[in-house]
Amino acid sequence: MPELPEVETVKNDLKSKITGTKIVSVNALWPGIVKDTPYKVFVKQVEGAEIIKVKRRAKNLIISLSNGLNLLVHLKMTGHFLIAESSAEISKEGKWLKAKNTDLLNDRQNQFIRIIFYLDNGMILAMSDMRKFAYIKLVGDKELQTFLSSYGPEPFSPEFTEERLKKILRAKNIVVKKVLMDQSKIAGIGNIYADEILWAARVHPLSVSYKLSDQDVKAIYQNIKKILKLAIEKRGTSTSDFRDTSGRKGTFGDLRNVYRRTDLPCPECGGSVKKITVGGRGTHFCPVCQKEVK
C-alpha cells in the first residue's frame, strides 16, 4: 500500500504536471471509484473546473478545484495516477492500447484504468487500480477539514518533535509497531516503513511502547525522518504495485534492510531476518539486532 513517500511522490508529480489545468471531461470505466456522490453529479461538478492546488495529508491526496470543491483521493492498496498525452488510447477494459510512454504499455500494474480525466493542456490523468479499493470523493472545505483533523502530526511538520513522539509512545501500553502505524497518532507510516524504521532504530516491533528508553525514542524519531526522506528521494517503494505518474517504479525497495526479506541475512549482523504477524500485518525484523522490551 502506498505510504507517505509514495503519496508524496505522486503529489509532487501532480503538482508540477496538472496544477493550473482545466478538467475538460471525465470518463469512468468503473464509476464505483467515485464514492458518496452520484457519478452523474460528480461529472457535472468536476467538468470545467480548474485544478488549483494539489496537496498530501497522511496517505490522502487532495486536489483542490476552482469551484470550491476538492477531490479527496485515497490510493488504498494498488491505486496510482498515470499521466499521458491526449493521443494515448485506453480500451474499455482499462488497458493502454496506445501511448508514447512504453512503461504505460508494458507494465501490468498500469493496465487497470478505472477513471480518466481529460485536461485542457492536452494531457490525460488516469487512475489504475487493480484491487478496486482506491476511491475519489468530492468534498467541500469544511468536510475536508473535519476528515483530515482525525490524523496525527505529519512527520515533517514542526509540531512533530522528539518530545511529541515521546508523549505518543508513552501514552500507549501496546506494541510499538502498532503505534507507528496508527494514523491518528502519526500520519503516513505503514507496514514497509514501520519495519524499516524499527530495524534502523534497533527496536523490536513487539516492544511495549511506553517502556521504551529515551534513547530508543530518539532513535525512532531520527529514523522516521531519515528513512521517509530517503524514500521520497528514491520515489517510493515498488516491491509490489506502486508506480509513479509515469508508470515507473520507485527504487527505495533496493535499499530496504528487512521488509519482505524473510530468511535473508540482516545487513548489520548477518543473522536471518524473521517474519511475524503484528496487528494482522506481516512484520520483518532481526531478532539479534532488535531486542524486545517487555
Residues 6+ apart with CB under 8 A from 233: none
* Residue 3 is among the residues annotated as catalytic for this protein: yes
| Residue choice 52, 208, 288, 293 for contact with Zn ion (CB under 5 A) | 288
Q: Does residue 268 bind Zn ion (CB under 5 A)? A: yes
Shortest Cβ 3–Zn ion spacing (Å): 23
Question: Shortest distance, CB of residue 289 to Zn ion, whole angstroms?
Answer: 3
Q: What is the DSSP letter of 197?
A: H
The single residue of 11, 59, 166, 177 carrying the catalytic annotation is 59
What's the closest the beta carbon of residue 266 comes to Zn ion, in angstroms?
3
CB 82 within 8 Å of CB 243: yes
Are 114 and 164 in contact by the 8 Å Cβ rule? The answer is no
User: Please, which residue, 68 or 271, has the CB nearer to Zn ion?
Assistant: 271
Q: Is residue 203 at the binding interface for Zn ion, with CB under 5 A as the rule?
A: no
Binding residue for Zn ion (CB under 5 A) from 230, 255, 264, 269? 269
Is residue 174 a contact residue for Zn ion (CB under 5 A)?
no
- Taking the complex as a whole, the smallest distance from the CB of residue 93 to Zn ion amounts, in Å, to 46
Write out the three cell numbers for 188.
Answer: 503516513
Active site residue 59: yes
By CB under 5 A, residue 286 contacts Zn ion: yes
- Residues written for the chain: 294
Cβ closer to Zn ion: 69 or 286? 286
Q: Which residue from 254, 141, 249, 245 is spatially nearest to 196, judged by alpha carbons? A: 254
**Residues of this chain, 208-267, that bind Zn ion according to CB under 5 A:** 266
How far is the C-alpha of 117 from the C-alpha of 283, rounded, in Å?
A: 38
Active site (annotated) includes residue 291: no
- Which are the contacts of 68, defined by CB distance < 8 A and separation ≥ 6? 140, 141
Contacts of residue 211, Cβ cutoff 8 Å, sequence gap at least 6: 293, 294
Residue with Cβ nearer Zn ion (230 or 269): 269
Taking CB under 5 A as the criterion, the residue among 26, 138, 181, 289 binding Zn ion is 289
Asked if residue 52 binds Zn ion (CB under 5 A), the reply is no
Q: Percentages helix, strand, coil for the chain, rounded to the nearest 5?
A: 30, 25, 40
Q: Which of 15, 22, 172, 281 is flagged as catalytic?
A: 281
Task: Look at the block and give the residue holding cell 491518528.
Answer: 184
Q: In DSSP terms, which residues pair with 285 in a beta bridge?
A: 274
Q: Which residue numbers are catalytic?
A: 2-3, 59, 281
Q: Which residues are near Zn ion by CB under 5 A?
A: 266, 268-269, 271, 286, 288-289
